[in-house]
Amino acid sequence: MPSINEYLLSIFDELKQPLLIVSPKNELQGINRAFCDFLGIAPNSVKKIAKIWPGIEATDWSDSHMVVQLQGNSETITARLSVNPLDGGDKLVRVVGRVSSGEILSSLHDQRISTLGQLAGGVAHDFNNILTGILGHVSFLKASAGHEGVQLESLTAIEDGARRASLITQQILNFSRADHQEKPERIDICSCISRTFLLLRGAISPRYELVCSVPDKQFWVLADEGKLAQILINLVMNAKDAITTNGSVRVSLDEIKDTNRLFKNGESPAPSYICIKVVDDGCGMSEEVLKRAFEPYYSTKKDKGTGLGLATVDTIVKLYGGVLEIDSKLGKGTTVSVYLPLVQKEEATGTDTPKRIPRGDERILIIDDEAPVRSVLGVSLEHLGYTVFQAASGDEGIDAYKKEPFDLVLLDMIMPNKTGPETFVELQTIDPDVSVLIISGYAAPEAIDFILKKGGKGFIPKPFTIQELAHQVRDTLDEDL
């Protein structure tokens, strides 16, 4: 009569699910017939687990689900595994299924996009700190130079260039940040397309003629700026890829009032539309390709394309109540037209007359690890009458606040050793009524919301001018009175 262990092993061997038992030292304790069949190997042929699982020593067992490479009889199999702990430290490993090459590529693509977002965030943080220093010193010099003169024109040109650079940085962030929360708002599409075009012009070889024609006026759409940028980027990159040697890509923007033909019932839901038109003189599309142009993952670029460009554009356009139209002939180029409904701009309140830069005599603590930022903020605020103390880290700022509280703290979000949120929590421990303004060139929305919900007074995104900072500082100080 078989022993209990023999009986249990026989049941284990008969189970249809591919199973493996691994010891705490990554030694093979049991393998059933279904696992052998999954790998295409003979039962009882495996003595050491490394033979079928070469990477087992590097496995992170803290994850209950994993994707690994297993070695079969004649091929390497990518499998998805599920891990369950057993008594004594053993682990029961269950094969959930094979992982297709498409899933692997999709996973790698997601990782690359996530990495791109992180890299863009780091670059934006450093770049915006530099721009904050430039804009701060320029606005300080403009305030000191008066309102006339050749020097003022040069300073204004420098300021405009720095602002334009900051807009390009923001465009990169909006396009690449995976955690970016898109909230549709009224956006001047002419300005958005112009800024995105600047980004594209720097990314495309000069051998392509790239032309953008945008009306010198404002047209408003209800959308997210990042998604609008994605529309133009996808269309222009597709157009560029369709050109085999030298050629041109032309972008234009026009108001269209008669769009009834685009809708099935012959009546436009909106009184007027803006048309983003991208025209190339590339290879064009055959009727067969044109019919499948919007299919996800369908691409004629072989290994150079994902097949998601037009599908993504189509999805975004429909999301905003628009229409996408393609006119293409093989060998004669392609015209892609995106129609988006126009909305009215919200009426501005108050007057547009320039405000006098407000002054004060309160004590302000600046906590920022970037010396150029601290320097320009300190010089400018002292010029406006404030008493300023500068701290290069969260710990240094906390020590300063312990000695004597400040009327206001300007707190950077991303700093080494002690972050903005951590510094804020400690400052609140010292003084529950501490008044804090957040300044940051790039920070996760969750971190900013955390401070604002806990009593933070506001958020100023870098880069900013001293005029913008001065008004925000004065408003916050007056609010606390």
Amino acid identity, residue 288?
E
Domain 183-346: what homologous superfamily?
A: Histidine kinase-like ATPase, C-terminal domain (3.30.565.10)
Work out the pLDDT band at 383, boundaries 50, 70, 90: confident
pLDDT per residue over 117-139, tens digit each?
A: 566 666 666 777 777 778 777 87
Task: Please name which of 382, 380, 385 lies closest in space to residue 137, comparing C-alpha atoms.
Answer: 380
Question: Highest mean pLDDT: which of 186-190, 294-298, 313-317?
Answer: 186-190
pLDDT for res 353: 47
User: Average pLDDT for residues 394-405, to the nearest whole number?
Assistant: 94
pLDDT for res 461: 83
274 vs 339: CA distance, rounded Å? 6
pLDDT for res 351: 45
pLDDT for res 102: 54
Higher pLDDT, 398 or 154: 398
User: Average pLDDT for residues 192-207, to the nearest whole number?
Assistant: 80
Statement: residue 7 has pLDDT above 80? no
CB burial of 128-158 (b: ≥16 within 10 Å; e: otherwise) equals: bbbbbbbbbbbbbbbbeeeeeeeeeeebeeb
Domain definitions of the chain by residue range: 4-99, 183-346, 363-479
User: Average pLDDT for residues 174-193, to the nearest whole number?
Assistant: 70
Work out the pLDDT band at 350, boundaries 50, 70, 90: very low
pLDDT for res 285: 86
In the chain, pLDDT over 90 holds for what percent of residues? 23
Provide the β-strand partners of residue 367: 391, 411
Statement: residue 415 has pLDDT above 80? yes
pLDDT for res 244: 76
410 vs 377: CA distance, rounded Å? 10
Please state the three-class secondary structure of the chain as a single string: CCCHHHHHHHHHHHCCCCEEEECCCCCEEEECHHHHHHHCCCCCCCCCHHHCCCCHHHCCCCCCEEEEEEECCCCEEEEEEEEEECHHHCEEEEEEEECCHHHHHHHHHHHHHHHHHHHHHHHHHHHHHHHHHHHHHHHHHHHHHCCCCHHHHHHHHHHHHHHHHHHHHHHHHHHHCCCCCCCCEEEEHHHHHHHHHHHHHHHCCCCEEEEEECCCCCCEEEECHHHHHHHHHHHHHHHHHCCCCCEEEEEEEEEECCCHHHCCCCCCCCCCEEEEEEEECCCCCCHHHHHCCCCCCCCCCHHHCCCCHHHHHHHHHHHCCCEEEEEECCCCCEEEEEEEEEECCCCCCCCCCCCCCCCCCCEEEEECCCHHHHHHHHHHHHHCCCEEEEECCHHHHHHHHHHCCCCEEEEECCCCCCCHHHHHHHHHHHCCCCCEEEEECCCCHHHHHHHHHCCCCEEEECCCCHHHHHHHHHHHHHHCC
pLDDT for res 342: 92
117 vs 207: CA distance, rounded Å? 29
Contact 233, 273 (CB under 8 A): no
Residue range 4-99, CATH number? 3.30.450.20
469 vs 463: CA distance, rounded Å? 10
User: Average pLDDT for residues 447-469, to the nearest whole number?
Assistant: 87
> Mean pLDDT lowest for which of 106-115, 220-229, 241-250, 407-416?
106-115
Task: Please name which of 417, 408, 411 lies closest in space to residue 391, comparing C-alpha atoms.
Answer: 411
What's the whole-model pTM score?
Answer: 0.47
pLDDT for res 432: 94
Statement: residue 2 has pLDDT above 50? no
pLDDT for res 349: 45
User: Average pLDDT for residues 9-14, to the nearest whole number?
Assistant: 78
Written out in words, the top-level CATH class of the domain with range 363-479 is alpha beta
pLDDT for res 146: 62
pLDDT per residue over 46-103, tens digit each?
A: 888 888 898 888 787 877 788 888 888 878 888 888 888 887 788 899 888 887 655 5
The reply to whether 363-479 shares the fold of 183-346 is no
pLDDT for res 364: 96
Q: Which two tokens stand for residue 460?
A: 């100023």
CB burial of 259-277 (b: ≥16 within 10 Å; e: otherwise) equals: beebeeeeebeeeebbbbb
